[in-house]
Chain A
C-alpha cells in the first residue's frame, strides 16, 4: 500500500509541524516573555498589606502616661473548629468575662464575634484554643481622659493626629508602618502563612511633655472651682517654669464645661497686669528715679479729652506705688516720658503681638499696633494694658522673662522625645529668644511685683511662708467689638517665690458675675489656692529646700552653698545646662528662610532673637543681613518678601 505510506507521511509532517509550533510557542512564552508573565502572576496573586506601627505615647514630665496606644483584641470563634466545645466554651466565657450562657447563645451562629476590646492579658490563654481567632487592633487610650485634653488633642478616625499635640507631633508619634505581602486567591481570600514581611513597622517615638500631671490636676480643679464659684464665663490657667520655658500646666474651661485650648488661641486685653511692662521700659531707659513722685490727682485725671480714674486715689505716688496699687493715673503720667517707639519696642520685646513659638498647632499672635497706627490716646492706653491683646500664654512667657532675669525664653510643651528603642532623640534645652531687660532691671521689677502682694492689690495671693511677686489686672471685656458694660476680665500673674522664682502662674477669669469682679478678689485667691496645693503635693518638684531659705532678698546664693538645710527635693528645675551665660549678647547667625512662608520666616527669625522688619508680601526672598551673616541678638533683620512664584 504505497498510498498509505504517502498519506501517513503527510500526517506525520503535519504532526511534526504542530510539535515544532508548540515547542516554539512554549519557548516564546516561558523563555522570552517569562519575566513579564511572572510579574503579572505576582501582581495578581499578591497584595501589599500595611502592618500598623504603634503610635508613640505621650507622658507628663515624670512619665505618667497621658496618651497610650494599646494593642487590644476582638475575639472571633469559629464554632465548627472548636475541638471540645463543652470544655472550651466556659473557658472562653471566663476569659471574656461573659456568662457562659451568653457565649453559648452567641455560638449558635457559625461565627461568633466578640468586639471587646480585650486586653492581651485577657486573651493570651485563648491563643492556644483551636477555633478562637484573635484580631488585633491598636487603640489610642487616654488614662486620665479629662487631663489637659484640649492640649493633648485627639486622634482622628484615620489614625492621624486630628488636633492639639497629637496633631502637632503626629510625624513623631506615628512611626512608620511596615509592609508585608500576602498571597490571595481569585476570591480575594488571603493566605497568611507565606506572608513575607518587607518592612517591619517602626513604632512611633514617645514624647514626654513638660506638663506636670499633678500641677495640671491642681490647675484644672482650681479653675473649675473658681468658675463655678464666681459664675464666670470661663477661664484659663498657665503655669510655667521660668528658667526653662517649660509649660507645666495649661487649663482652659468654659462655663458650659467645654474646653478648648484658649490659652493659646484666645486673646484678651490684659489691663493692669501689663502695667509692669511699661514700668520695665521706664526703668530700663532710666526715665524714673525710685524716689520720684507724681500727683495722684485725687483719682481723676483728664488727658487728651479722656478722664482716667483710679479706684483707690493716693495723693502722691512713686512708680512702686503705681504698680502696687495699680494706679492708672501715675502710670499714664510716667509713660508720657517714653517715646511711642520705645514703649512699642519694649512690649514687642516681651513677645506681645508675635507668636511665642510653642509647639501647639494653633496659636494667636494677639494684636500690638506699631506706633504709626497709634492715636493720641494709644500711649496712655498701652501703659494701662489696653489697645493690646494677648494670649494667656504670651502673658506667662513675658512674666517668665521677668523671673528669668530679663531673658525671654521660647515656651515649650515638649520635654524630651525618645525613639522606640528608648534612645533620646531630643531633649529640650532652654531656648532664649532675646534679652529684654538687664538683670538688675528685672530684679527691680520683681521687687515692684512683690510689693503688690505685700500690702497691694495682690495681697489675697500672699502665702504665710513664702514671698510671692504678682500683679493683678481687671480689664473691661470687649464683646462684639465694644466694651461691654459690667463685664470684666480678671487676670493675675504671679512669680513664686519672689526671689529666684521657680514658677510663673497666670490666671485669667472671664466675666466673673458673683461677688467682686476685681482680680484682687477673684484671680488672686485662686492663685494662692493653687500654690498651696502645689506645695502640699507630694510629687511636684518644687525645691522646698530653697523655699525655706528664700527670705533674704539680697544676693541670691548658689544652691550648693545653702547652709544647714537638707534639700529633699532638688529636681526642680535646674539642670546645669539650664541657663548658662545667656546674659552676654552673642552674635548669631541669620537663618536661611528663603522660600518659606512669611509667617514661618518671621517666627524663625524671632526665635533666633532678632527683630524683624518686613518689606513686601508673598514668601520670604532674602534677608539683610544675609543668610550666614551674623548679627547681635536683638538686632533688626529686614526680611524682603517676593510674591509667590
Chain B
C-alpha cells in the first residue's frame, strides 16, 4: 500500500502549491481594491488564508477517513444543497441572501456565508457517482438508467440556473455528464439529451440581455456594444501585456478598475499579467498534473463508486479550471466560474480542498494489485 502513496502526496503538494499561489495572487490582485474600500490591503488575502487553513484541516481529516461514508451521505448532501439553493429564490429571505451584482448566489448562515452552487458541484458529483455505481450495467438503458439522473439532477441544475448562475448550472451538468459518461452511459442517449436540452439552453441564454450580449460578442467580436466585450478584452490586454516574464507581482495595473473581479472571476488574467507566460504555463502544468493524478487514482481504484467519485472530483476541479482559463483567454464567452484553489472565495476554496481530501482518501484506500 505504501508504494502507491506518492500519488496522494503529490496531490497534497499540488493542492498546497496552488493554494499558496492563489493566496499570493489574491493579495496581488485585491490589495488595491481592499485599500480603495478603506480596508487594509491584505484583507482579502487574510480572509482567504482563514478559508485555506480551515479547508486544509478538513481535507486532511477527510483524506484519512474512509470515502465510502460519502455513499451514505450522498442523498442528505443533495437534499441540503437543494434546500440552500432554494433559500435565495424565496422572496422573504433577502436578509440572509442579499442581492449582490444582480444575483442572489450567497446565503448567510450566521457563522459563514456560503455559495450553495459551489456546494452543488460536490453534491451532484457524489450523488451521481453513488447512483451510477449502484446501477452498474443498468446505466446503459434509458428508462432505468439515465432517466432517474435526469429527474433528480434536472431540477437541481434548474435551481442553480434560477439564482441566476447559468455557467455554474452548465458546469454541474457537465460534471454529472462526465461521471455518467465514464460510468458507461450510451453516447446515443447523451446526444438525445443534448438535442432535447439545446432549445432550453438557447432559451436560457436568450432570457437575459447580458448573457446574449456575451455570447454574441464572443461569436462576433467587435459587433456588439463595447461594454459587453469589455471584460474579456481587458482580460486579454492584461494577459497579453504580461508577455514572457510578466510585469512582476503586484505590478499588474489591470486591477486599477480596468479588469472587473481581477481577484476572482478573472484571476487567471491577473496571474498572466503579473507572472507572464511562465506563470500561465505553471498554472496549466499544475492543473494538468492534478488531473493526471486524479484520473490515475480513478483508474487504479477497484470499486466502481470510488472510480466514478474520483473521476467526478477530478473533473470538478479540472473542468472548472479549464473553463475559467478558457474564458480568460477569450476562448469562451464570459462566465462567472472561479479558478479552483486560486480565486478569491472561501466556498470555492473549501469545496476544492474537500474534493482533494476525498480524492486523496480514494487514493489511499486502493488495494495494491
Contacts and interface: CB of A to CB of B under 8 A. Distances in A.
Interface of A: 1, 3-5, 7-8, 10-12, 15-16, 18-19, 21-23, 25-27, 29-31, 33-38, 40-42, 44-45, 183-187, 191
Query: In this complex, which of A4, A29, A40, A45 has the most chain B Cβ atoms within 10 angstroms of its Cβ?
Result: A29
B176 to A, nearest CB: 14
B243 interface: yes
Given A8-B299, A185-B257, A22 B237 contact: no
Contact of A45 (B178, B253, B307): B253
A26 B280 contact: yes
A19 B295 CA distance: 15
Contacts of B253: 41, 45, 183
A19 B288 contact: yes
Query: What is the interface residue range for chain B against chain A?
Result: 35 or more
Given A7-B181, A8-B182, A185-B256, A26 B239 contact: yes
Task: Across the A-B interface, give the 5 residue pairs with the lowest CB-CB distance, nearest first.
Answer: A37-B240, A186-B257, A34-B243, A38-B241, A185-B256
A191 B256 CA distance: 10
Contact of B304 (A1, A21, A41, A44): A1
A29 B258 contact: no
Interface string B326-340: 100111000000000
Interface in B281-318: 281, 284, 287-288, 291-292, 295, 298-299, 304, 307, 311, 315, 318
Interface of B: 178, 181-184, 236-244, 253-254, 256-258, 272, 276-277, 280-281, 284, 287-288, 291-292, 295, 298-299, 304, 307, 311, 315, 318, 322, 325-326, 329-331
A7 B185 CA distance: 10
9 contacts: A4-B183, A12-B292, A26-B284, A30-B239, A31-B244, A34-B244, A37-B237, A45-B256, A183-B253
Contacts of B329: 22, 25-26, 29
B277 A27 contact: yes
B257 to A, nearest CB: 4
B184 A34 contact: no
B45 to A, nearest CB: 21
Contact of B182 (A7, A31, A35, A191): A7
A31 B276 CA distance: 9
A28 to B, nearest CB: 9
A185 B35 CA distance: 14
A18 B326 contact: yes
A38 B331 contact: no
A38 B182 contact: no
Give the one of B178, B253, B325 with max A CB within 10 A: B253
B322 A15 contact: yes
Contacts of A35: 243
A26 B276 CA distance: 9
A27 B280 CA distance: 9
A4 B242 contact: no
Contacts of B244: 30-31, 34
A3 B254 CA distance: 47
A571 B63 CA distance: 101
Contacts of B241: 34, 37-38, 40-42
A11 to B, nearest CB: 6
A41 B252 CA distance: 10
Contacts of B325: 22
A15 B290 CA distance: 12
Nearest to A39: B241
B240 A12 contact: no
Contacts, number: 122
A193 to B, nearest CB: 13
A187 B256 CA distance: 9
Given A19-B322, A34-B242, A37-B236, A26 B258 contact: no
Contacts of A12: 291-292, 295
A46 to B, nearest CB: 9
B276 A21 contact: no
Given A8-B311, A11-B315, A44-B237, 7 more contacts: A1-B307, A12-B295, A29-B272, A35-B243, A183-B256, A186-B256, A187-B257
Contacts of A191: 256
Contacts of B331: 21-22, 25
Nearest to A23: B284
B239 A29 contact: yes
A196 to B, nearest CB: 14
Nearest to A25: B329
A29 to B, nearest CB: 5
A19 B325 CA distance: 10
Given A8-B311, A18-B326, A29-B329, A34 B284 contact: no
Contacts of B291: 12, 15
Contact of B258 (A3, A4, A5, A44): A44
B281 A26 contact: yes
Contacts of B258: 44-45, 185-186
A19 B253 CA distance: 27
A10 to B, nearest CB: 8
B146 to A, nearest CB: 15
A432 to B, nearest CB: 64
B184 A3 contact: yes
B298 to A, nearest CB: 6
A151 B369 CA distance: 105
A26 B183 contact: no
A42 B258 CA distance: 12
A11 B311 contact: yes
B322 A18 contact: yes
Contacts of B182: 4, 7-8, 11
Nearest to A29: B240
A369 B307 CA distance: 114
A317 B144 CA distance: 144
A92 B123 CA distance: 64
Given A22-B325, A23-B281, A31-B277, A7 B239 contact: no
B326 A22 contact: yes
Nearest to A3: B184
Contacts of A27: 277
Contacts of A8: 182, 295, 298-299, 311
B236 A29 contact: yes
A223 B82 CA distance: 99
Contacts of B298: 4, 8
Contact of A40 (B237, B257, B330): B237
B186 to A, nearest CB: 11
Nearest to A18: B322
Contact of B178 (A11, A34, A42, A185): A11
Contacts of B254: 41
Nearest to A7: B182
A45 B277 CA distance: 22
A33 B330 CA distance: 14
Given A8-B311, A187-B257, A22 B239 contact: no
Nearest to B287: A19
A4 B256 contact: no
A31 to B, nearest CB: 6
Given A183-B256, A185-B257, A187-B257, A34 B240 contact: yes
Contact of A38 (B181, B183, B184, B240): B240
Given A25-B329, A41-B253, A4 B295 contact: no
Contact of B272 (A5, A16, A30, A44): A30
Contact of B243 (A30, A44, A184, A185): A30
B277 A30 contact: yes
B120 to A, nearest CB: 21
A102 B182 CA distance: 79
A265 B295 CA distance: 95
A309 B326 CA distance: 106
Given A15-B291, A22-B331, A183-B256, A5 B299 contact: yes
A27 B257 CA distance: 25
A33 B254 CA distance: 17
A219 B66 CA distance: 109
A22 to B, nearest CB: 5
